[in-house]
Every structure is written in structure tokens, then in C-alpha cells.
């Protein structure tokens, strides 16, 4: 999580700490300060120049009256900055490790970062999917252990055995009124030629929960859209694995250090589009304002007949700023 347990007064120290851990003599990748600056400005109202900002030390942070949750969020930011790089500089990895140890922080995010820093991509992928929100959701699905044993990691995200009843349940969403959540999800799948849950090779129910959020939040399925969804979701929940989920999208679409089990390998650098750092920061802002925790046992089929605009208003899903992309549900021809 980012800046959920800190005050505005803490932000200058947090920014200086991330700079102290990650910048070194200069930033390893120009996108690192761009994303940090957009995040601090749009999310916390603190404009800064992370290229010239004076770095803080571990002792500076230890001397401040920050909670352990706030310290963990500082390390999350450091890991985010580190994982934007490909390759990860050894000096940066060692520095983030030193800060995490000094602040008494251990996390699943750090485990994945260390896997990647030593080139253990298979272990990193396994650690990511097992500890991400998808792994938690899969554990609740009947028979998942058998599916994983029989089909391997793909079972985390895909339908491995046909389920005609589940497919029919999703197809029936076309009967919901135009503009409703259910009809909008049906259109979302049809426009993109995605297979419904229940269709062999389509999303499984754990992954499909994510697609309802695309519709509600109003983000597309390109690289930046996937990062926006993950950023929004992370800020709107305390569900285990949400922070790791956001970092995973950066690993798929920016640094390409991790391979997606859904879309395969990516070339990376997909956040280097106009306004991308500001769009990510805006997604974090919108997620923080949202009152819907998407992983608190909600079944979106219960809301399928309700208009999307009504749900957005009821759950405080704010309108994106002008530089965010929101057109996601064009009706199929």
C-alpha cells in the first residue's frame, strides 16, 4: 500500500527516504522519478523534484514518529521504484534490503524483488501468483488444489476444465439492460473477444473478478489500463496481496521482468506513453476515495442489473481526470 497510514506532514520525509534508498548518484531509469513525483503531487499534494531532493537516512526515519504500517509503506515505494528497472541494479537492490532491515520490514513484495534480483524468474512468478490476491481467491475455489496439481501454474488464472453452466451464467448477462453492470461486462468480453469463465482457456473465477473492476473503474485492457486497475484496487482494499498485484503489473508491462500467465511475455516500457505517471497517480487517488472493497466477499452478479453510473455514485468511484482513459465498453457490432 502507498501512503495509507501516513499524514501529509510525513510526505517530505517519505519522499526523501525513497530517494535515499533508490537514487544513488543518479536514477537508473528516467521513469522512476517521474512516477514518484506524480504520486507525491497528485496523491499527497507534495510537488517535489526527485532528481535534486536531498536524501534522507535510515536514522532520519527511525527518529520520526511513524507507525510500523507507515514504515512498511515506505519500503513498498522503494520496491516499486526498484522493480521499474531491467536489469535491477545490484546496488539498488542491496540498498533497499538494507533499508527494509533497518526499518524492520518484511513482506511478500520483498521476496519477489529478491527472487528477481538474483535472476530466479520461475521462483518469482510462483511467489507472485501464490501471494497475489489471485492466489488467495483461488484457495477459496472448490477443487483448486487438484487443478493446480494436474495443470500447473496456469490453473491460477485460467479455466482448465470446461464448465458449461458457468459459461451460460456469463452469457446470460447480455439480457441485462444497456448501461447495467452485467450488460457492460458482457460487452467488455465480446468487444475484446475474451472467453468467458467456464470456457476452456478463458479466465477462471478468481481472475474474472478483476474484469468487473475494469468496467466499474473505467480502465482499458492495454498495459497502462491494467496498471491503473491494479493501482486503484490496491488503494481501495486492505486485502492481502493487493500491493503485490500492483507491483506485478509493473513487472509485466514496464520492466518485463515477470511473465504473465494470462498475456504471456511483454516487451516492457508500456508505461512510457504520454501522461502515464499522472494516470497511475490519479488511479491511486480514485482508489483511496472509493468505499467499495472489491475483495471483501462481494459477488458482482448480485449487482448485475444495476446501472454502472448508479454503482459508481454509491461506491464513491470518482471521475478520472482528463488525462485518464475511460472508454472501455463500446458495444459490439
pLDDT score of 330: 36
Q: What is the pLDDT of residues 147-198, one digit of tens each?
A: 999 999 999 999 999 999 999 999 999 999 999 999 999 999 999 999 999 9
**Cell (9 digits) for 164:** 458449461
Residue 77 to residues 1, 99, 135, 207, 226: CA-CA distances in angstroms? 8, 12, 23, 25, 19
- The per-residue b/e assignment along 6-45, b for 16 or more CB within 10 angstroms, e otherwise, is beeebbbbbbbbbbbbbbeeebbbebbbbbbbbbbbbbbe
Q: What is the mean pLDDT of residues 248-273?
A: 93
**Cell (9 digits) for 116:** 528477481
| pLDDT-above-70 percentage for the chain | 96
pLDDT score of 328: 40
Residues 184 and 174: their CA atoms lie apart, in Å, by 8
Q: What is the mean pLDDT of residues 285-299?
A: 93
Say which residue, 254 or 238, is predicted with more confidence. Answer: 254
- Strand-pairing partners, residue 14, are none
pLDDT score of 99: 98
**Cell (9 digits) for 177:** 439492460
Task: Say which range, 23-27, 235-239, 251-255, 306-310, has the weakest mean pLDDT.
Answer: 235-239
pLDDT score of 85: 94
Whether the pLDDT of residue 117 is over 50: the answer is: yes
Tell me the longest C-alpha to C-alpha distance in the chain. Answer: 61
Amino acid at each position: 500500500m502507498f501512503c495509507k497510514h501516513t499524514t501529509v506532514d510525513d510526505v517530505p520525509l517519505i519522499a526523501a527516504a525513497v530517494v535515499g534508498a533508490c537514487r544513488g548518484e543518479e536514477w537508473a531509469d528516467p521513469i522512476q522519478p517521474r512516477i514518484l513525483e506524480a504520486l507525491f503531487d497528485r496523491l499527497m499534494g507534495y510537488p517535489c523534484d526527485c532528481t535534486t531532493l536531498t536524501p534522507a537516512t535510515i536514522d532520519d526515519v527511525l527518529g520520526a514518529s511513524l507507525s510500523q504500517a507507515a514504515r512498511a509503506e515506505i519500503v513498498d515505494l522503494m520496491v516499486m521504484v526498484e522493480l521499474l528497472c531491467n536489469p535491477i541494479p545490484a546496488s539498488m537492490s542491496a540498498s533497499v534490503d538494507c533499508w527494509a532491515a533497518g526499518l524492520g520490514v518484511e513482506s511478500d513484495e520483498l521476496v519477489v524483488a529478491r527472487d528477481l534480483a538474483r535472476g530466479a524468474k520461475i521462483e518469482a512468478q510462483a511467489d507472485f501468483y501464490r501471494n497475489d490476491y489471485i492466489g488467495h481467491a483461488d484457495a477459496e475455489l472448490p477443487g483448486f488444489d487438484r487443478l493446480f496439481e494436474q495443470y500447473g501454474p496456469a490453473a491460477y488464472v485460467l479455466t482448465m476444465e470446461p464448465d458449461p453452466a458457468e459459461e451460460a451464467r456469463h452469457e446470460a448477462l447480455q439480457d441485462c439492460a444497456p448501461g447495467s453492470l452485467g450488460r457492460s461486462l458482457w460487452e467488455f468480453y465480446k468487444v475484446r473477444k475474451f472467453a468467458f469463465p467456464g470456457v476452456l482457456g478463458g479466465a477462471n473465477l478468481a481472475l474474472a473478478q478483476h474484469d468487473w473492476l475494469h468496467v466499474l473503474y473505467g480502465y482499458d485492457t492495454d498495459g497502462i489500463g491494467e496498471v491503473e486497475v491494479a493501482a486503484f484496487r490496491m488503494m481501495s482494499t486492505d486485502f492481502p496481496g493487493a500491493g503485490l498485484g500492483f507491483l506485478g503489473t509493473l513487472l509485466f508491462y514496464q520492466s518485463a521482468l515477470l511473465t504473465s500467465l494470462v498475456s504471456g511475455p511483454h516487451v516492457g516500457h508500456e508505461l512510457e506513453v504520454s501522461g502515464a505517471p499522472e494516470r497511475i497517480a490519479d488511479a491511486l487517488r480514485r482508489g483511496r476515495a472509493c468505499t467499495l472493497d472489491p475483495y471483501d466477499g462481494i459477488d458482482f452478479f448480485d449487482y448485475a442489473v444495476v446501472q454502472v453510473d448508479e454503482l459508481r455514485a454509491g461506491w464513491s468511484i470518482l471521475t478520472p481526470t482528463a488525462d485518464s482513459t475511460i472508454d472501455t465498453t463500446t458495444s459490439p457490432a
